[in-house]
Amino acid sequence: MKKIISVFAMLFLLTLLSACKMEHMDMGCGDPACSMPSDVITTKSSKVFDQAVLKKLSDAVYLASQSSSCQRGDQWGIAGIGAKPCGGPAGYIAYKKENAECFLKVLDCYNKQAQEYNRKYAIGSDCMVEPAPKSVVCEEGKPVLVY
């Protein structure tokens, strides 16, 4: 019985680590916008639960992206967000370069969970490649992607 419990404990730990579970922990930048929801998509979670996980992570990504006012477009980077079932990002998002480490960790977690959702539910897509933005400009304190 102890052996079975040990195996399940090990599998549980590996699942948590591989799915980027962070228990609302600060991601190392001292910014509360860098915290992530603790829930993750698993093989046993329901579709409603999984959609809620993606929504929470999406909200965390957008909060981290919008946590700084945009003054100069060259202070901002561009990253792919989401996961198309055929590969590549579902879209693009701007982030402040000085917050890159924190933001990219949150974004990576969201992107991995989006890929897992697509795989789990066999989501299809048009497989069109999303055009990448060329730059970021600031409008009324907000970053705007330029295509």
Is the pLDDT at 142 greater than 60, yes or no? yes
Q: For the ranges 36-45, 100-109, 118-127, which has the lowest average pLDDT?
A: 36-45
Tell me how many degrees the CA angle 40-44-48 measures, rounded to the nearest 5.
65
Is the pLDDT at 89 greater than 70, yes or no? yes
Is the pLDDT at 13 greater than 90, yes or no? no
pLDDT at 20: 52
Q: Greater confidence, 5 or 65? A: 65
On average, the pLDDT of the chain sits at: 82
CA distances from 90 to 77, 110, 111, 140 (A): 17, 12, 9, 26
Q: What are the φ/ψ torsions at residue 92 (nearest 5 degrees)?
A: -135, 155
Is the pLDDT at 56 greater than 50, yes or no? yes
- Cite the beta strand spans of the chain per DSSP E: 76-81, 91-96, 135-139, 142-146
Q: Collapse the DSSP code of 122 into the 3-class scheme (helix H, G, I; strand E, B; otherwise coil) and give the result.
A: coil
pTM (2 d.p.):
0.76
